[in-house]
A and B are shown apart, each in its own frame.
Chain A
Amino acid sequence: MRTILRGLHAHAAAFGVLICLLSVVPRALALEPAAMADLASDETSDKARAIDTIAAAGDEEALTVLEALLGGDLQVTPDKHFLIKRSSGLVDAISGSPVSPEPDEYDKVRINNRLRAQTESAIAGLRLLSRDPAVRLEAAKAIDPSRDNLPLLGKALSRESVPEIRNALRKAEAVANLHSPDPASQLAAIETLAGSTDPRVKADLMALSRSTAKDQESPAMAKVHEAAADAVKAIERRLAMYAYLGRFFTGASLASVLLLVALGLAITYGLLGVINMAHGEMLMIGAYATYMTQQIFRDHFPHSVDWYLVFAVPTSFVIAAAVGMLLERTVIRWLYGRPLETLLATWGISLFLIQLVRQIFGAQNVEVANPSWMSGGIEFSNLVFPYNRIVIIAFSGAVLLLVWLLLSRTRLGLFIRGVTQNRTMAACMGVRTGRVDLLAFGLGSGIGGLAGCALSQIGNVGPDLGQSYIIDSFMVVVLGGVGQLLGTVYAALGLGVVSKFLEPYIGAVPTKILILVLIIAFIQKRPQGLFALKGRAVEA
């Protein structure tokens, strides 16, 4: 506000009077230290009053203080001197000058949710007149649409030229006007808001449409109630459509996770016929490799820590593939063609790997943070598509494409397919089947590692990580048809979308049960899965 005043280089006094006339809310000219004293109180109502007083001061200092309060940086000494904690040290809350020597004793000014909401709204009110359009837009969306803020909104609207911000301001104004005593302005507000999809707007409209029973005195009011009810219906229709869209997205996202965890298994189990109970642990190893990469970045490259994932992807692949190949050479290769022994041996290996990780990293889950570019999401009306889910959908698509290219376009892929279909004949043709087995097992394990890297971004990373996915991945592979990548893709998609469509109706636990029952029924009917491998010597 001060800068705006300075910008209007005219008779300062005259303008001062004009501004005072324009703004209905009385505003002091600067933030007084006395205004803050109540913030040190233990009573929430005192603090609430202090926040209002500070906001009413309406200058840069007030904004700084409120932002510090919201961020938890505002400190108070026992003699009620307010300080702000900055990375450089303590500064005076009002003057902004460094404090030295630092006081021995000070404590954070604590706020609860009620005060937090009030502070957010006060900050939005102050920022509404900022010079930066992005800040203004943010503020216009965050401001509390109450009738007290109407004059402020009007003032902001009269100055605003950016259409997007004008729309947000209009909306806030309309929400405030819903509670207007004048039916005409209520009707106008309802009309403005009918196209909205904001659940909060819907809540306000619903309250308006319900109050019919109490006051049906005037026909004007009846009209308002009716219009509100219609608007609610329109919004509900739109929300239902979005909910449908949202469910498709969550289904696709679950499918991408299922596909990633099952793809590696589809190669080791589907192509090589090894019932690898330790596949889950490959996911776990991939996730821990991601964790280690993150730690290395935190320790050595703290500035580029946001990009650790780019390095974590190849690292998790290589480490998981190496462990897989080691297992193949030392244990599994002696057990080819003996499914029961393989099952037991790999199960033992899985227990061994879990305990090993528990010894090295502890039984606690470790923290793998989303890089900042993967936090949050795209907002689309009231739907949010989280970035981490979008990235994983894209990632699983990319992994699928690479695996398909590898299997169908390379020499190694040709060998793997050959060995899968007829091991003896492939060996006769000069394919070194032992080496192909080793590489294929490494590939399957490596893809498991990639899946672990992806899972670390949405779930927990702990020694038991693999255990919770092993059932799901076998389910996908068996349903899809052993030995078929395409089947795995369809099975993952089907399971993902079906369970996410069922979940809202019958709950998460019954969904799991129902899915299992459906799969059992399906396998009874069609033991070979969705897609059967065709060929003469399949079971050679």
Chain B
Amino acid sequence: MNRRHVLKAAAVAVAGAWSLSVSGIAAAADTIKVGILHSLSGTMAISETALKNTALMTIEEINAKGGVLGKKLEPVVVDPASNWPLFAEKARQLLTQDKVAVVFGCWTSVSRKSVLPVFEELNGLLFYPVQYEGEELSQNVFYTGAAPNQQAIPAVEYLMSKEGGSVKRWVLLGTDYVYPRTTNKILRAFLKSKGVAEADIMEDYTPFGFSDYQTIIAKIKRFASEGKKTAVVSTINGDSNVPFYKELGNQGIKATDVPVVAFSVGEEELRGVDTKPLVGHLAAWNYFMSVKNPQNTAFIKEYKAWAKANNVPNLDTVVTNDPMEATYVGIHMWKQAVEKAKSTDVDKVRKAMAGQTFKAPSGFVLKMDETNHHLHKPVMIGEIQDDGQFDVVWKTKTTIRAQPWSPYIPGNEKKQKF
């Protein structure tokens, strides 16, 4: 490369940078930047791609109605590629380079734990849309998914009731990482408080991406033959669920004998499964696609139309699920809070978020708690149907306040507030 080339290249680079910064300034004047931090490749792409889609759809919807504070929202989509340290890097990039007002993102607890120090250091704002294990509370995060008392505990209580089959014996089966282990720790303490003996609880873990469930299901069968009604509580995450449910069907474990209740299986995860042998197995969430109300009908219609307009792969079978609803609710609540605060400043928005309400597709009016950054949510228990949807067989009459610090873990009594 001779000198002239170098100079030319440098000139082009400077010009490019200048034009970029100009357009940046121009954009900053009449738009508000919003970060979207979901894995679009790697193992979690399966679940997180739909959340990115929902976020983009909601932003389009808000823009079509005139935006926020008279400004349009401008989404900045980054791909942390299911790589936990990369989540932190991308979060830093969004906050320092793109200077986004808020970030919607993360799915796994390990990715949230990875970005948390970045948001706290730079005083950013993160909306986290997935049910999780609790035991965390940050000024810089709003949790729009369920805490354990809004999902895991009610599901187990349901199975203990006469309606749920008066279950006496429990298999706690999960993927080997922080969310299932913490949830099972809470559940174990809860079950013991209800008088379940140590011998009536079996806990087992499989690695991410595990696909050979033969021996584990044989073990469950043996455990279930000890004379008491048995249920499986599954915190299996990701695509391992498909071979797990396939094997359940093949081994002839029916929901009427040994029901399986899952916390990470929704409509999206069942898309790759023939659900005919699985009818009657359960899932606990705060929203199901099958819920009937005007908000949900509009939400599903809007998403289907968006998927069609944006040519999402396999668009004839797109579904909505709980974390998508939580993303949708989160973005709308943030918009309301910004309008109340008349600013996108993180501290002002945080104050304005307290007590915000939104009529959600779940059919309930959800409220952001005044103190603990979690939503008040209804709890629903659904049974899998042969079309891959869930029939709600039980739900709470009202919304439930989240307890991020589970009372079943000793030492948590004093942590309920900041």
Contact = CB atoms under 8 A, between A and B. Distances in A.
Contact of A508 (B204, B239, B271): B204
A339 to B, nearest CB: 28
A141 B249 CA distance: 18
B48 to A, nearest CB: 9
A360 to B, nearest CB: 9
Nearest to A459: B211
A364 B271 contact: yes
B272 A508 contact: no
A365 B252 contact: no
A458 B225 contact: no
Given A203-B225, A365-B242, A112 B214 contact: no
A358 B165 contact: no
Nearest to B214: A250
A23 to B, nearest CB: 26
B156 to A, nearest CB: 15
Contact of B216 (A112, A358, A464, A503): A503
A460 B314 contact: no
A247 B214 CA distance: 9
A424 interface: no
A117 B256 contact: yes
B280 A370 contact: no
Interface stretch (B126-134, B184-192, B370-378, B385-393): B385-393
A199 B386 CA distance: 27
Given A113-B165, A203-B227, A508-B204, A363 B46 contact: yes
Chain B contact residues: over half helix, strand or loop, or mixed? loop
B163 interface: yes
Interface in B250-268: 250-252, 255-257, 259
B417 interface: no
Nearest to A468: B209
A509 B218 contact: no
Contact of B214 (A199, A500, A509): A500
Contacts of A459: 211, 242-243
A113 B259 contact: yes
Contacts of A116: 255-256, 279-280
Interface in B203-226: 204-207, 209-212, 214-216, 218-219, 221-222, 224-226
A216 interface: no
Interface in A361-388: 361-367, 369-370, 375-377, 379, 382, 384, 386-388
A449 to B, nearest CB: 19
B209 A202 contact: no
Interface in B222-250: 222, 224-228, 239, 242-243, 246-247, 249-250
A254 B212 CA distance: 8
B256 to A, nearest CB: 4
B249 A206 contact: no
A509 B240 CA distance: 14
A510 to B, nearest CB: 9
B207 A365 contact: no
A290 interface: no
A363 B50 CA distance: 11
B40 interface: yes
A120 interface: yes
A362 B313 contact: yes
A358 B79 CA distance: 15
B251 to A, nearest CB: 5
Nearest to B385: A72
A44 to B, nearest CB: 6
A199 B215 CA distance: 17
Contacts of B164: 113-114
Contact of B205 (A44, A246, A468, A509): A509
Contacts of A503: 215-216
B100 interface: no
Contacts of B255: 113, 116
Nearest to A120: B256
Interface in A300-340: none
B152 to A, nearest CB: 19
B227 A207 contact: yes
A367 B386 contact: no
B113 to A, nearest CB: 20
Given A113-B165, A460-B211, A363 B391 contact: no
A243 interface: yes
A483 interface: no
Contacts of A361: 313
B383 interface: yes
Contacts of A507: 204-205
B274 interface: yes
Interface string A236-264: 00010001001100100110010000000
B109 interface: no
B222 A239 contact: yes
Contact of A239 (B41, B42, B225, B272): B225
A112 B383 contact: yes
Given A113-B259, A246-B218, A366-B272, A377 B242 contact: no
Given A362-B313, A459-B242, A460-B211, A509 B252 contact: no
Given A206-B226, A504-B219, A384 B250 contact: yes
A526 interface: no
A121 B15 CA distance: 78
A247 B215 CA distance: 7
B271 A367 contact: yes
Contacts of A114: 162-165
B166 to A, nearest CB: 10
A375 B271 contact: no
Nearest to B242: A460
Interface string A375-416: 111010010101111000000000000000000000000000
A204 B242 CA distance: 33
Contacts of A202: 225, 227
A298 interface: no
Given A114-B163, A509-B205, A379 B215 contact: no
A508 B206 contact: yes
Contacts of A363: 40-41, 45-46, 49, 313
B295 interface: no
B273 interface: yes
Contacts of B302: none
A512 interface: yes
A131 interface: no
B259 to A, nearest CB: 6
B250 A386 contact: yes
Contacts of B259: 113
A49 to B, nearest CB: 15
B200 interface: no
A365 B314 CA distance: 10
A204 B205 CA distance: 30
A364 B41 contact: no
A245 to B, nearest CB: 11
B251 A199 contact: no
A384 B253 CA distance: 10
Interface of B: 40-43, 45-46, 49, 162-165, 176, 204-207, 209-212, 214-216, 218-219, 221-222, 224-228, 239, 242-243, 246-247, 249-252, 255-257, 259, 271-274, 277, 279-280, 282, 312-314, 383, 385-386, 391, 393
Given A72-B279, A388-B250, A389-B214, 4 more contacts: A206-B226, A246-B218, A364-B45, A367-B274
Interface of A: 44, 72, 110, 112-114, 116-117, 120, 199-200, 202-204, 206-207, 210, 239, 243, 246-247, 250, 253-254, 257, 355, 358, 361-367, 369-370, 375-377, 379, 382, 384, 386-389, 458-462, 464, 468, 500, 503-504, 507-509, 512
17 contacts: A72-B279, A110-B393, A114-B164, A116-B256, A199-B224, A199-B225, A362-B312, A363-B41, A364-B313, A365-B242, A366-B314, A367-B272, A388-B250, A461-B272, A468-B209, A507-B205, A508-B204
Closest 6 CB pairs of A and B: A362-B313, A199-B225, A386-B250, A363-B45, A203-B227, A206-B227
